[in-house]
Amino acid sequence: MNPEDLPPYVKTKTLSGGRVGYYWAPRTADIRGGFTPASVPLGQDYGRAVERAKALNADLYNWRAGVVRERGDTGTVGWMMDVYRKTDRFNDNRKETQRDYDRVLKKIAAMSITTNGKPIKDMPCEKVRPRHADKLYREMMKSGSRQAQKAMTIMKTCWAAAYRQHDDIIPLENPFADMKLSHTAQETKHATYGQLTSFTSKAIAMGEPAVAAAAQLVWDLHVRPTEAFRDFRWKDWRPDDHPHHCFVHAGKRKNGAWIPIADPETGELFFPELVALINHCPKGEPDDLVFRRQHIDTVTLERTKGLYPINNQAVQARAVREAAELPGYVTFAAFRHGGLTALRKYGFQDRELQLISRHKDSKSLDHYLHDEDELILEMARRKYRARRTSG
């Protein structure tokens, strides 16, 4: 192989053992003029190195001609993010999760962590060091520890997934791995049953029976609020082949199950309030979500006939909560916490609660059980009284 056979700006380097590696680097004048990346390792495969160099040169020539580059250049962090968006690791997530991850990636891509003021999306991956990841983390901490932790976890996955696609471009060492992340989840204050009934009554009075049913659903069946609004469908509610059951998808853990709504032998309802509320919900097509409502025009505030999905549960909760003059902590999540806490008060054991809530990890259940000391003391007193009476 002669140097003349290589594309412009491709250099060779002798590696250990006599092996030959290739790398690409434009003119110093181009780098000083603002072109990135400053250099790109091309690996040891001659054919792949040539193909990548041709693409890099085409990008360089376009840059010299004044063509604005909208996407990340090969080897940059922005390019790596685009690679990740095309992988199964990204696309196997729910659409809502994909949009959330994409939002986080775009926020990080626009951040500047170097003295030249350029966004990190233009930084070559080979130049990213752990100290840069730490600086990104400190910047993200301004949005809260939870957001910062999530952002760094996404970047760690992004780097690892893209590396598997382009291990000749992206370095093996993941600068977002082994980071010291600190986030302590704030305890969600649980709602009481009285607050639940006030909430559902007000929702019905406001013409929102589906919102009332959603609150009752997360209390009685302990489903996650997102599952109540996003996954719950009419075909899952007491179908002909399961007239006494409801199928709960539990999409987060993928461990859905048929939950009994009524006694299979007697037909007696286990959750009469829930059944009554769902019976008042507007019913669309078989595959539509149960929880639908009339659309309210944001300009005229007029209601439009038809059924529409409820896309923002927090907005719905706040509207009803404020109308019912309930405390600010009363949310759909608070209703789920309240329902599980009530079961503990009724004497349910941890294993039973874990099966009901469908938590794979028993430690996760502790986050949902409140007033623990008070409940333990109350059950201890009951046992003491029962034994003293029987003795």
Top-confidence residue, 293 or 66 = 66
pLDDT band at 68 (very low <50, low <70, confident <90, very high): low
For 371, residues 6+ apart whose C-beta sits below 8 A from its C-beta are: 341, 345
Top-confidence residue, 391 or 177 = 177
pLDDT, mean of residues 184-207:
83
Residue spans per domain, the chain: 3-64, 77-165, 193-381
* Strands of the chain, DSSP E: 10-14, 20-24, 40-43, 245-248, 257-260, 292-296, 303-309
Whether CATH 1.10.443.10 fits 193-381: yes
Question: What are the counts of helices (DSSP H) followed by strands (DSSP E) for the chain?
Answer: 16, 7
CB atoms near residue 4 (< 10 Å): 5
Top-confidence residue, 363 or 284 = 284
Here the tokens at position 386 are 């029962």
pLDDT of residue 232: 80
pLDDT of residue 337: 81
Q: Is the pLDDT of residue 192 over 80?
A: yes
Q: Is the pLDDT of residue 388 over 50?
A: no
Each residue's pLDDT tens digit, 316-338: 888 899 999 999 888 888 888 88
Where is average pLDDT lowest: 249-253, 296-300, 352-356?
352-356
pLDDT band at 3 (very low <50, low <70, confident <90, very high): low
pLDDT of residue 375: 43
d(CA 234, CA 220): 18
pLDDT of residue 270: 85
Most confident segment among 171-185, 282-296, 344-358: 171-185
Here the tokens at position 227 are 């599952």
For 193, residues 6+ apart whose C-beta sits below 8 A from its C-beta are: 219, 338, 342
pLDDT, mean of residues 171-198:
82
pLDDT band at 353 (very low <50, low <70, confident <90, very high): very low
pLDDT of residue 345: 63
DSSP state letters, 13-50 = EE-GGG-EEEEE---HHHHHTT-S-S-EEEES-HHHHH
Here the tokens at position 158 are 């992004």
User: Hey, is 269 helix, strand or coil?
Assistant: strand
Q: Is the pLDDT of residue 203 over 50?
A: yes
Each residue's pLDDT tens digit, 77-90: 999 999 999 999 99
Each residue's pLDDT tens digit, 8-29: 999 988 887 888 888 889 999 9
Look at residues 200, 218, 219 and name the one whose alpha carbon lies nearest to residue 209.
200
CB atoms near residue 77 (< 10 Å): 27
pLDDT of residue 254: 57
Q: How far is CA 38 from CA 35, 125, 364, in A?
A: 7, 11, 47
pLDDT, mean of residues 86-97:
87
pLDDT, mean of residues 250-275:
78
Q: Is the pLDDT of residue 42 over 50?
A: yes
d(CA 309, CA 288): 9
DSSP 8-state secondary structure symbol assigned to residue 5? G
Q: Is the pLDDT of residue 57 over 50?
A: yes
Spell out the alpha helix ranges (H) of 45-192: 46-64, 77-85, 88-91, 95-109, 130-140, 145-165
pLDDT, mean of residues 62-67:
83
pLDDT, mean of residues 246-260:
71
Most confident segment among 45-59, 130-144, 223-237, 303-317: 130-144
DSSP 8-state secondary structure symbol assigned to residue 87? S
pLDDT band at 188 (very low <50, low <70, confident <90, very high): low
User: In this prediction, what percent of the chain has a pLDDT beyond 70?
Assistant: 74
Here the tokens at position 166 are 């382009």
Q: Is the pLDDT of residue 125 over 60?
A: yes
pLDDT band at 210 (very low <50, low <70, confident <90, very high): confident
For 336, residues 6+ apart whose C-beta sits below 8 A from its C-beta are: 218, 219, 222, 223, 224, 225, 368
pLDDT, mean of residues 240-265:
78
Q: Is the pLDDT of residue 157 over 90?
A: yes
For 251, residues 6+ apart whose C-beta sits below 8 A from its C-beta are: 94, 226, 227, 230, 231
How does the average pLDDT of the chain come out, rounded?
Answer: 78
Query: To which H or E segment does residue 278 belong?
Result: helix 272-279
pLDDT of residue 143: 82
For the chain, the maximum distance between any two Cα atoms, rounded to a whole number of angstroms, is 100
pLDDT band at 40 (very low <50, low <70, confident <90, very high): confident
